[in-house]
Structure 1
Amino acid sequence: MFKSAVFNLKDATKEEIQTFLNSFDTVLTDCDGVLWIDNNAIPGSPETMNQFRKLGKKIFYVTNNSTKIRSDFAIKAQELGFIASADEILSTAYLVAHYLKGIGFTKKVYMIGSNGIGEELKAVGIRYIGVGPDHVCSDFKSMKPSELDSEVGAVVVGFDEHVSYPKFMKAASYLDSEDCLFIATNTDERFPKGGSIVVPGTGTLVKAVETCSQRKALVLGKPHAYVRKFLESCGLDPARTLMIGDRCNTDIELGVRCGFQTLLVLSGVTSERDLEKIRTEKKPPLPDVVLPKLGDLMALFPS
């Protein structure tokens, strides 16, 4: 309806809003920066998502966050006021397990990551090592081949607050074998965060491992091919699907690649200044519509 128009929905007429709401049956939404930041719901987001559901829309929560299992995401969403079930959560931790199970992987995974990925792997019977701190020795360069696990057949990189030099050494050493798979959950540069503190995202760790291993990772999360194939397997009608996000290079890019309608909100990574640059440069991917925050839709819903 507003194809790549970067149109502020607040400027739409009642008729345009109604036509917009009638134009999709499925809502896909990012979580961090759209629905909540840390453990706080962004005002109006729960009410808006729940209103979509009342209007008969199918809901999927699509997140690049790999730190939790799907049931934990559902519990968090429920505690913040969203109606949600584990079956509606599509996280990168789940995608990793789904992908490896799908290719018949039977070896062990070395992870730079968290328990979220580990628990999803365990649920499908895949063994893993690497979660938690890896002590940095004073003579860290003296690592021996005997310290590596010969059963490892894949390196998975997600968000890891315990990332360290020994972890990079082990990941690169495993990946020195061409037979070892290299998988990344996502390449997000930073986390949505209020204030002036920048929190580096998983993409920082992926780049580091790609550099020292001299390999390129297969990235499963938004906006890459695997998550697109997974969503397509859910039977979505692209022309009647809305993707909501706070990043152009992941959420909106995914929507554009899949042929979805797109809504960009400015409550997370993308700022007002970024939006002006997007409008001026007109560099794809361009969102169809824009709102300061998702909750602003509540005032636009027909009464």
Structure 2
Amino acid sequence: MDGGAAAIGLKGCRRVRGAQIRHLLDAKACFLFDCDGVIWHGEQAVPGAPRVVHALLRRGKGVFFVTNNCTRPRETYVRKFRRLGFTGVRREHIFSSSYCAALYLRDVAQVRGGGVFVVGCEGMREELREAGVPYLQEEADVPGATIYDCALSAGVKAVLVGHDDQFTFLKLAKASCYLRDPDCLFLATDSDPWHPLKDGRILPGSGCLTAALEVATGRKATVIGKPSRFMFECISSQFTGVDPAQCLMVGDRLETDMLFGSNCGLDTMLTLTGVSQLEDAEEYSRSEQSTKQCFVPDYVVDTIADFLPAFEELD
């Protein structure tokens, strides 16, 4: 075994480049990418990312995008990929937490009558509509309405929580009432605590709203998105031959993306263009707590553009 292959065999927060990445490209059949912080920042593609995705697809690799961003339906993602210069990305390649939540409600929970109370955005409702999952069509509350006098619907089968920039105390109170029924499912698109914005600002994530409802009800939500395994199960159920041993998960957040890969039996790669940095990964690697070892990536690159020289060598 040459030096590059030997380095690939040594796991645990290892920087890889050149020949080492080339061995990974040979060894892996499927590549799973987070979106924000990995292949784009807002409306700017990470330099080189469109070429990397195109090169993987041209070589017949399975390429999937796994995102906890529940605000957009998949069709909107397709348009964004095109707008940012990514070619060949189809809707079936995209697995968002809102899409997977709709699949869970339709295929696993098999919600039929009643409906789903949504604490979330229109993108979540659009995925539910497309999947044929009934949800409450709530009219605007009367000004000044409170939980003491507002209308509550009968037969609610599930409460689904995601990102909601129109979140109100009344929504929290209504969801809490529905979840007093032990047969009412409690689902969350994801548990992300926050997302980075410009100038050091942050946007509170879906996990904040879920935590509020967990405290109010004394119940724990079933999380659909990363780091739950369900998102990978959606991929493997729709695409035959997706072997965890031949998959690489590439992400920028240790507590979400790397843990997701670990939970699913995938090799993991941290790219340093997003939330987590090498120092964070090294700190986890030194921890004696076994749970924190699951946050440690197998490999580290500065950016997924580091793949490009390996493609040139293979051509």
- TM-score normalised over the length of structure 2: 0.87
Residues 174 and 87 from structure 1, CA distance in 2 versus in 1: closer, same or farther, beyond 3 angstroms?
Answer: same
Q: Does 1:257 align with 2:263?
A: yes
- Counterpart AA for 2:127: E
Select which of 240, 243, 246 maps to 1:240: 246
Distance of 2:21 and 2:161 partners within structure 1:
41
- Counterpart AA for 2:179: L
Unaligned runs of 5+ in 1: none
Residue 5 of structure 1 and its aligned partner are, at CA, apart by 2.1
Residues 135 and 43 from structure 1, CA distance in 2 versus in 1: closer, same or farther, beyond 3 angstroms?
Answer: farther
Residues 29 and 260 from structure 1, CA distance in 2 versus in 1: closer, same or farther, beyond 3 angstroms?
Answer: same
Distance of 2:137 and 2:200 partners within structure 1:
32
Distance of 1:196 and 1:270 partners within structure 2:
15
Residues 298 and 132 from structure 1, CA distance in 2 versus in 1: closer, same or farther, beyond 3 angstroms?
Answer: farther
Return 127-136 or 35-44, whichever deviates more: 127-136
Name the SS for the 2:200 alignment partner.
coil
Q: Do the aligned residues in 2 keep the contact of 1:60 with 1:90 (CA within 8 Å)?
A: yes
Match of 2:3 in 1: none
Residues 149 and 132 from structure 1, CA distance in 2 versus in 1: closer, same or farther, beyond 3 angstroms?
Answer: closer
Residues 279 and 104 from structure 1, CA distance in 2 versus in 1: closer, same or farther, beyond 3 angstroms?
Answer: closer
Select which of 38, 41, 47 maps to 1:37: 41
Distance of 2:72 and 2:172 partners within structure 1:
22
Size of the aligned set, in residue pairs, is 297
Aligned-pair identity in percent equals 34
Match of 1:284 in 2: 293
User: Deviation string for 1:196-229 (max 9, x for gaps)?
Assistant: 1121111111111111121111111111132232
Residue 132 of structure 1 and its aligned partner are, at CA, apart by 9.8
Match of 2:118 in 1: 111
User: What does 1:1-303 align with in structure 2 at a 5 Å threshold?
Assistant: 1-2=8-9, 4-10=11-17, 13-14=18-19, 16-83=20-87, 84-102=89-107, 103-106=109-112, 107-129=114-136, 137=144, 140=146, 143-144=148-149, 147-233=151-237, 234-235=239-240, 236-281=242-287, 283-285=292-294, 286-303=296-313
Distance of 1:89 and 1:273 partners within structure 2:
30
Q: Do the aligned residues in 2 keep the contact of 1:136 with 1:165 (CA within 8 Å)?
A: no
Distance of 2:140 and 2:50 partners within structure 1:
36
Residue 296 of structure 1 and its aligned partner are, at CA, apart by 2.7
Distance of 2:139 and 2:263 partners within structure 1:
36
Residue 274 of structure 1 and its aligned partner are, at CA, apart by 2.0
